[in-house]
Amino acid sequence: MSHSVTITRTTTSTTNTSYIVLNTGYLKSFPGILKLFELLVGAAIVGLMAYNFRDYYHTFRGQQDLFHYLMATTFMIGTFCLLLSCLTSLSTGGIIAKTIYELIYHSIAAILLLASSTCLLIELRNRKHDGYMAAGILGLVNCILYFISAFLAHRSYRGI
């Protein structure tokens, strides 16, 4: 009885110092670039919300901005931890993509960022605040990035 065997090889490039191994090849892959953009857009949202949060009691009495601020901060930190773990380990980037963690994380991030951005933008239709408007639109952009990541995670998920 014969059967076929498929062998897949993954080549990674590393920057090796005495204590830290960096998987620089992960940032050259599409999921790595996507996570980096999610992190950068999340940092921009958190920066905009932090800068404009001082106007909270003077111009904006709703809770939508606080919800968006919390969601952007939460998923920025989670994406940073995920990207850092993939960069500091040679095997994490390939292994974690095959688990259900990435699918669940990116799906929840996309849904909650969509909800917080939509709530913020709906509230802003009655008043003008450019900083919050930019943060809401960047939230929608980040939501699209998380949906793409969830789609890629769904395609690479192996129900082991």
Domain-embedded: residue 22: no
Q: Count the domains in the chain.
A: 1
- The better pLDDT of the pair 126, 8 is held by 126
Domain-embedded: residue 23: no
Compute the distance between CA of residue 102 and CA of residue 78 in angstroms, rounded to an integer.
Answer: 11
Domain-embedded: residue 34: yes
- CA distances (Å), 9 to each of 86, 110, 131, in order? 18, 31, 47
Domain-embedded: residue 79: yes
Domain-embedded: residue 52: yes
Compute the distance between CA of residue 115 and CA of residue 129 in angstroms, rounded to an integer.
Answer: 19
Other C-beta atoms within 10 Å of 47: how many?
14
pLDDT digits (tens, 9 = 90+) for 31-89: 999 999 999 999 999 999 999 877 655 555 678 888 999 999 999 999 999 999 999 88
Instruction: Give residue 101's domain range.
Output: 30-156
Give residue 92's pLDDT.
79
Give residue 127's pLDDT.
79
Domain-embedded: residue 16: no
Domain-embedded: residue 110: yes
Domain-embedded: residue 142: yes
CATH number at residue 139: 1.20.1270
Among candidate residues 145, 15, 11, 148, the one with its CA nearest the CA of residue 76: 145
Which two structure tokens, joined as six digits, stand for 135? 């943060």
